[in-house]
Amino acid sequence: MSSTVLVALSGGVDSSVAVAAMVEAGHRVIAVTMRTFCYAEEAATESARSCCGLEGIADARAVARTFGVPHHVLDLADLFKARVVDDFVSEYSAGRTPNPCIRCNTLVKFPALLERFRALGVEALATGHHARIERGAGGGVRLRRGADRAKDQSYVLWGLPNEILGRIHLPIGEMTKAEVRARARELALVTAEKPESQEICFVPDGDHGSFVGERHPDALRPGPIVNPAGERIGTHRGIARYTVGQRKGIGIASSEPLYVRAIDASTGRITVDREEGLRVDRCWIDEINVLADLPRNTWINGVLAQFRVHQDPRPVRVRLEGERSARIELSSPIVGIAPGQSAVIYRGEDLLLGGVIERASLLASGPAA
């Protein structure tokens, strides 16, 4: 049965093919491109070429014209700045490592688009994410990894509640990236050969440290770099330029590679150590969103945790503790878990829950700051 479906059309190849899929499925399609922070006058020239920049709008309009569907540009700049950009600046200034794409999906893109187009009879939202939604006979939904594991984006959707997932279509989730491009070529879409966006849309030059420093100068104030014994061995260029697990750009000569082990925003001190000093065997997450029927206050075994977008998942066990928190214990320690990052739990292809890392426990020294 056909329905009115809103398609989030960024001007990239994935969302372009998502429009095609919805049209071919017989839906009445309305395309929308979000106007976000990267349209601001102070944004760098590269912003025009980012996924949600001015070039993206032109490409989105051309794709919509190809299929004869209406195209809207929705100004979400204020909301995006308040919920994504300001948080990004605040988190880096606090020595944490945020994921702005997750916050955008959770707090801006999906809820805002569905709400603001409700008056036009929109019943569902489709996007070009490489992930899958499986609907059960009883109306339940499961969020699953995309068929192309190398491009899987389920990780950045963990914050969406089931009531929103139930109104979402992910039409390219069963396709590989190569198949998406091939389909775009068949349809002669202007986006068929468009490269993927690799950077944060509002920091297109990749220099997040300078971006944060322009808005929070104290985050670029130099401070001490110390070894695990607390001895000063150098000076850093501002905590916004560093993240836990970082190796490059520390600027300390050493016979062995050094990594950022901890960032203390209250003192402006960064601790570095050899790789073995960063091994983590457990962490605690807050702001959790549980998408499956899981028991509380008991260990859930046989699951995997992913701590970065394209990181290989690791065997863990997890325990839900309270309404919005959980504890994760790894089968073997890993390096580079940073507060502020997201930890997402899977069983097989199914995403069970996700949350924001509040703290991690270094193997040799107990909970890190």
Q: Please check the confidence at residue 241 and state whether its pLDDT lies above 50.
A: yes
Give per-residue pLDDT as tens, 158-208: 999 999 999 999 999 999 999 999 999 999 999 999 998 777 889 988 899
Q: How far apart (Å, rounded) are the C-alpha atoms in residues 257 and 243?
A: 16
Domain 4-186 annotated CATH 3.40.50.620: yes
Give per-residue pLDDT as tens, 68-119: 999 999 999 999 999 999 999 999 999 999 999 999 999 999 999 999 998 8
Q: How far apart (Å, rounded) are the C-alpha atoms in residues 154 and 350?
A: 9
Give per-residue pLDDT as tens, 5-56: 999 999 999 999 999 999 999 999 999 999 986 544 444 444 444 555 667 8
Q: How far apart (Å, rounded) are the C-alpha atoms in residues 38 and 40?
A: 5
Delimit the domains of the chain by residue range: 4-186, 221-273, 277-367
Q: What is the pLDDT of residue 253?
A: 86
Q: What is the mean pLDDT of residues 277-304?
A: 96
Q: What is the pLDDT of residue 119?
A: 86
147 CB neighbour count, 10 Å cutoff: 17
Just list the catalytic residues.
104, 201
Q: What is the pLDDT of residue 366?
A: 45
DSSP percent split of the chain into helix, strand, coil, nearest 5: 30, 30, 40
| Average pLDDT value over all residues in the chain | 92
Full DSSP string of 231-276? -EEEEES-GGG--TT--TT-----SS--EEEEEETTTTEEEEE-GG
Return the structure tokens found at 261. Answer: 């082990």
CA-based nearest residue to 258, from 239, 283, 222, 234: 234
* CATH class of the domain whose range is 221-273: mainly beta
Return the structure tokens found at 260. Answer: 């950022």
What is the fold, at CATH topology level, of the domain defined by 277-367? Answer: Elongation Factor Tu (Ef-tu); domain 3 (2.40.30)
Give per-residue pLDDT as tens, 96-105: 999 999 999 9
Give per-residue pLDDT as tens, 132-162: 999 987 778 999 999 999 999 999 999 999 9
